[in-house]
Amino acid sequence: MSEDVAVIGAGIVGLATAFHLLAEGHRVRLVERGGVAEGATFGNAGALAFTDILPLASPGILRKAPKWLLDPLGPLAIPPSYLPQITPWLVRFWRASLPDRYRASLEAQGNLMRFAAPAMGAMIDAAGLSSHVRHDGNLQLYESEAELAASQPGWDARAREGIAFEHVRGARLAELQPGLSPRFIAGTFTPHWQTVNDPYRFALALFRAAMERGAALTHGEVRAIEPDAEGVHLRLADGTVLKAGRAVLTGGAWSRPLARALGDAIPLETERGYNTTLPPGAFDLRRQLTFGGHGFVVTPLVTGIRVGGAVELGGLKLKPNFQRSEAMLKKAAAFLPGLRTGGGTQWMGFRPSLPDSLPVIGASRASPRVLYAFGHGHLGLTQSAATGKLVADFVAGRTPSIPLDPFRPDRF
């Protein structure tokens, strides 16, 4: 066997990374501060959104942001008490939305997504996860012709990437999703969009596959990563010290202080996402629906119907504001007449987000023995297998499957 690798964080990115390293003969130890897949992975929208190549930092969102920010329960919110802390990140976000930087991020995201789809397919096959995946596409909905027209540049960009889509109205719209409110006059159907039947169950199945292949698990919070010439020491909160040949930091929203201690000032922020999962049968939902103008999606899962999304930039310490979940659920009831809204379970999770909408994948400046793989924002599930494969490339000393320069940790 090859040298051992400690993967810090057992969310979906960490699990996919462990799975790929195990496939290449490495001894792998997952180190998780909480429960396996109980962070952002637990309650995400379940999308394998390979067609979602548009960076969040875009000229379009800057036009919408002022209107959204006026609504404290709208698609984008920043608690006033958090504004001083997040202002430097917002400045970087604005810079990333400038035309030349936006185009560069779009190209990098397109490259990663083209790789992500086959990488995920290969991991699903290897881990025996095909029964967890739905292939019924996504339907983006519009309340006016003006809203559809405003979305067209994004669809043009997808068309240049070879992404299939269909603008629909009338009977075709009703066929794709019966029971919509008549306020929605058009939609765009992306047939190759996939969802998992429940993101937590999907992640646990991948975890079991990794354990069956020899992975080990340590529960504990890593307080320091200390590389030296021979390997890496991980110091845990309880005083335990773990030794490994390499470490891969896949700690999601909790990655920033560990990277900073190694000399890498990575501007990672936390998008707090909210949802409500309704009981199975709450609506005859045929596929995932995206209400882009309102910043949320409705997803059919085996565990129920999940109504969630939106962005609250508020860090890790503020208490959840579940009025945001309630506001989305109220809108969903208006958009889907007949939706039964009782008996739901609310949730809030932390998405790790970087200003240019691209993850960090690459080595720490402190040591090539420490690798970073975090900051995927809304796309951690989608890009997890690709990230795992790229980390395995790096560990093996191979030329990476796609150029990694746009994702390097020192790009900021």
Contacts of 86 (CB under 8 A, 6+ apart): 78, 269, 313, 315
Judge whether 355 and 57 are in contact, CB under 8 Å. Answer: yes
Please give the Cα distance from 271 to 278 (Å, whole number).
23
pLDDT tier for residue 3 given thresholds of 50, 70 and 90: low
Residues 327-348: pLDDT tens digits?
999 999 999 999 999 999 999 9
pLDDT tier for residue 70 given thresholds of 50, 70 and 90: low
Mean pLDDT of the chain: 94
Please give the Cα distance from 23 to 405 (Å, whole number).
25
* Domain 1-54+98-134+195-268+354-412: CATH architecture, name and number where available: 3-Layer(bba) Sandwich (3.50)
What is the DSSP pairing of strand 304-313 with strand 76-77? parallel
Predicted pLDDT of residue 75: 81
Choose among 178, 179, 144: nearest CA to 333: 179
The first and second tokens of residue 360, run together, are: 């960090």
Beta bridge partners, 304, equal 301
Residue 65 has pLDDT above 80, yes or no: no
Residues 289-320: pLDDT tens digits?
999 989 999 999 999 999 998 889 999 999 99
Predicted pLDDT of residue 348: 95
Predicted pLDDT of residue 67: 73
57 burial (CB, 10 Å; 0-12 / 13-18 / 19+) is: buried
Residue 2 has pLDDT above 90, yes or no: no
What H or E segment, with its residue span, contains residue 224? strand 222-227
Q: Is 195 helix (H, G, I), strand (E, B) or coil?
A: strand
Phi, psi of 14 (to 5 degrees): -65, -40
pLDDT tier for residue 109 given thresholds of 50, 70 and 90: very high
Q: What percent of the chain has pLDDT over 90?
A: 89
What is the DSSP pairing of strand 27-32 with strand 4-8? parallel
Whether this model's pTM surpasses 0.85? yes
From residue 386, alpha-carbon distances to 46, 120, 221, 276, 379 in Å are 17, 7, 26, 29, 11
User: Residue ranges of the domains in the chain?
Assistant: 1-54+98-134+195-268+354-412
Residue 61 has pLDDT above 90, yes or no: no
Find the helix packing angle between 83-96 and 99-127, rounded to 10°: 100
Residue whose token pair is 């949802």:
275
Contacts of 309 (CB under 8 A, 6+ apart): 45, 75, 273, 274, 275, 295, 296, 297, 328
Residue spans of alpha helices (H) in 237-379: 256-261, 323-335
Residues 199-216: pLDDT tens digits?
999 999 999 999 999 999
Beta bridge partners, 234, equal 225, 242
Q: How many CB atoms lie within 10 A of CB 212?
A: 11
Phi, psi of 407 (to 5 degrees): -110, 5
What is the DSSP pairing of strand 269-278 with strand 288-291? unpaired
CA atoms within 13 A on the CB side of 17: 31
Residue 262 has pLDDT above 80, yes or no: yes
Please give the Cα distance from 165 to 140 (Å, whole number).
10
Phi, psi of 324 (to 5 degrees): -65, -40
Q: How many CB atoms lie within 10 A of CB 130?
A: 9
Please give the Cα distance from 341 to 278 (Å, whole number).
7
CA angle 80, 307, 69 (to 5 degrees): 25
Looking at residue 342, the DSSP 8-state letter turns out to be T
Residues 371-382: pLDDT tens digits?
999 999 999 999
Please give the Cα distance from 340 to 281 (Å, whole number).
9
Choose among 270, 273, 284: nearest CA to 328: 273
The first and second tokens of residue 132, run together, are: 């967890």
Please give the Cα distance from 131 to 34 (Å, whole number).
27
Residue type, 144: S
Residue 74 has pLDDT above 90, yes or no: no
